[in-house]
A and B are shown apart, each in its own frame.
Chain A
Amino acid sequence: MEALKQKAKELLQKGDVKAVLGYAVGTGNVRRPHFARTPEQVDRLVLDEKCTQNLATYLTKHEVKHLGKVAVVALPATQRALLQLVAERQLRDDAICLLAMDGTEVKVLPSGAAVEQHLALKTDAMPTADKAMIEKLMAMTREQRWAYWQQELSRCVKCYACRNSCPMCYCEHCTMDCNRPQWVPVASHALGNLEYHMVRAMHLAGRCVECGECGRACPVGIPVHLLTFFAEESTAKQFGQRAGHSTKLDYALSTFKPDDKETFIR
């Protein structure tokens, strides 16, 4: 921890970055995202197993871009999101400055290539509980699964915490906010909720870095991350590539290759 603070202070003092984005202790000992712009703020940084938020979400926000270069204390999921954002040309490679822990040592990862290399050392499989839940859902009949999601999504109030916490939901104008045409009803009724979550899951197929932040962000505990996880897994199976593993990744669902098994485009 001290090494991390040391490194953060060093980066700030040298002027390499304008802020260090990490985690701090919050209400009732939860962890919260924390922007450190002064040495005193750096002293509040913590990093432990309670830190969960995917901080890559912040890097595409106007207010954060406005700060200048930001170093990010990056969990593996944050690293994957960073790679995917570079692949989708939302971040420049030279905007990357990640602080990753390697044992007790702090590593500065200054480029996509460095992140790729560092990530390759780790395996960060989907949490067992999520995997089990997806298996359970897939073992259900179509009707049972429909009933399950109807029940879960009935609690949705469309606060968009799932969308806004997602590092890959960076669109300036989300389809949900478009009204010409009004693709999806704004109202949080059964149809509006269902269409929203279906559209979001489809939009994340081949792009979801499986951090699970959307599910954690949901104030009413809907496991919406299972939808995007499933979409990502299906894409991985069918196209043989995963989001968040390389800065050079073509979006599976909008890239045509001559050896694609579907022939409809020809």
Chain B
Amino acid sequence: MTEKNIYLPYLMRITQITEESPAVKTFRLEFVDEVAAQNFNFKTGQFGLYSAFGEGESTFCIASSPTRKGYIECTFREVGRVTAALADKEVGDIVGFRGPYGNVFPLEAWKGKNLVFIAGGIALPPLRSVIWNCLDLRDWFKDITVVYGARSVADLVYKHELKEWNERTDINLVTTVDPGGETPDWTGKVGFVPPVVEQLGLSAENTVAIVCGPPIMIKLTLPVLEKLGFAPDQIFTTLENRMKCGLGKCGRCNTGSSYVCKDGPVYTLAQLNELPAEY
């Protein structure tokens, strides 16, 4: 019996490149192979390994919503060998994709609830997938609030979509930039994410919070949410441990006995509280 090579990526063509902020880009990727395109399915929260042939693979979430068919999108910052090579690519170029891997945000379980998304900096992409997914299933949920902060106005990603969300009446978007990061025409808030969340006066009742951001933001936001009455199982986040395989084998993404590539990347705070802090 010949088995499938689990390390072979799909070939994807870049059909659109968006410059999000300095060194951050979004690629829209379409399958080169028609059959693969038709058979491909994923759910929000899942991730993949993207290859720049010649340099290697890098792990990021799928930043588009599964409700948008025919393509996937990824957003990445140029920080290492692979992301630098990806950043050099142009529309029409071929990259690799392996996935989808990992667990998902439990949208079914969130039906009938209020959703609060809290993101910082380059951590909006994983939430962008789920936000669009929820907006496309808008009648499943009650209020949807998004709090998004970045260091400066230039560092905000998905500027067009922020504008769109801002204009929509079925989503409450609050954007903020760190003090000093504002521009003269900035109409959002100025301040760090945790106090901005605190000032919103959110109710924890029948609400889930989804938090993604740099470790320091998460660390300071969690106490705020607890103060607002959120229980650990009402708070979701995603972990981004380093991985090479995405298949539960290469041995580096685990935190305690939990493999982020298999059991994650989506965790509730209640689950994280049971694990050693190896992330």
Interface residues of A (CB under 8 A from B): 179-180, 182
Contacts and interface: CB of A to CB of B under 8 A. Distances in A.
Contacts of B84: 180
B80 interface: yes
A179 B81 CA distance: 7
A182 B54 CA distance: 11
Contacts of A179: 80-81
Q: Provide the main secondary structure of the chain B interface.
A: helix
A179 B56 CA distance: 11
A179 B84 CA distance: 12
Interface residues of B, number: 3
Those 6 A-B pairs whose CB atoms lie nearest each other, nearest first = A179-B81, A180-B81, A180-B80, A180-B84, A182-B81, A179-B80
Contacts of A180: 80-81, 84
A35 B80 CA distance: 38
Interface in B207-256: none
Contacts of A182: 81
A182 B84 CA distance: 13
Nearest to A179: B81
B92 to A, nearest CB: 25
Contacts of B80: 179-180
Interface in B79-128: 80-81, 84
A173 to B, nearest CB: 13
A178 to B, nearest CB: 10
6 contacts: A179-B80, A179-B81, A180-B80, A180-B81, A180-B84, A182-B81
A239 to B, nearest CB: 36
A250 B84 CA distance: 37
A180 B83 CA distance: 11
